[in-house]
Amino acid sequence: MDSILALPMSVLPFLVVLTIIVFVHEMGHYLVARWNGIAIQTFSIGFGPELVGFTDKKGTRWRIAAIPLGGYVRFVGDMNPASQPDEEFIERAGPELSRQLFVNKNVWQRIAVVVAGPAANVLFTLLILYALLLGYGRYMAPAVVQTVTPDSAAMEAGLQSGDRILAIDGFAVRGFDDVLRLVSTAPQRTITIELERAGAVETVRATPRVAEITDRWGGVHRVGRLGLENKFEVSDYVLYKPNPVEAIGMTFEEVRFIIDRTVAFIGDFFVGRGDVQQLGGPIKMATVSQQVATLGILPLVNLIAMLSLNIGLINLLPIPVLDGGHLLYYLIEAARGKPLTQRVQEIGFRFGLAVVLTLMVFTFTIDVPDLLRRIAGS
């Protein structure tokens, strides 16, 4: 019953999270397009019928639509939100309007507009993480090994009680929470551990074993475990607040970590280590948003930062329909000195649409059974 009652409650945090991320992404496209003198027809949050909207002085229609699963900036002269050019409209456009059409801008201007969306997501993530570090800092416990579990990955790697862990896979370790995070996101992947032992710096390699954990909401996750048993008292934690310059480096390192683990997560599926149950679509995103929202505003803000970065990266995949597909077309155009034919672009668009729809159906096949299991277990 609790899960059933939670369904409506999960909608609001989900809408807040997704709307912010989509707005940032589309605003990136919009601003760079404006700076390049491109006429914009529509700025839409969501797809489908318009719920509310207005037209500004430059003729752009700002709207919120009924299906809140994305958004788009549609340029004057586009046939649809996917930026396919309307050849008949373009031919009828007068000299003044023609200069403002996206399709008539040089290839580097078009590349800048396409890249601006994902870049805005990345920049947004950097700003959030930087602000959180400066404003709140981090509570950290010492990254010193207390106990090594017998017959564990840590024991096989030669880790010992008293070792101070300095870095894992090149990422600096400032506290034991960093150790847990770096290890848990690398199940069955060999990691390099830099440590200090008896005043000397040593490097060892270990392969975290897979463990299944159940979160407070009943979700099951596959994580990496070394076999380190550290027990801390509240007094062991200290608040670490970096200065503004150090926080910049820590923020970029955090973003690099997220990108590294995201790429590794995707790569696992190509080598047979991937767990499809860790994937999900809109339903899972709504559930996670609602769960995180119960923890407070700061965890929710952190979730927005993480999802913003991931959505920015996903949009750069070279799949027609996504920004990365358009970017691929324009890079080919820049290399060969002329655009691909409309026929080739149309075929690519249909292929990309098929891939995206297939992925959506696939994630729903994971989301729905998981949701039903949660309801049945309530």
Cite the active site residues.
26
Radius of gyration of the chain (CA): 24
**Longest CA span, the chain:** 78
CA angle 220, 221, 225 (to 5 degrees): 130
- Roughly how many angstroms between the first and final C-alpha of the chain, as a whole number? 5
The tokens for 139 are: 């509570």
Report the alpha-carbon distance of residue 159 to residue 195 in Å, rounded. 9
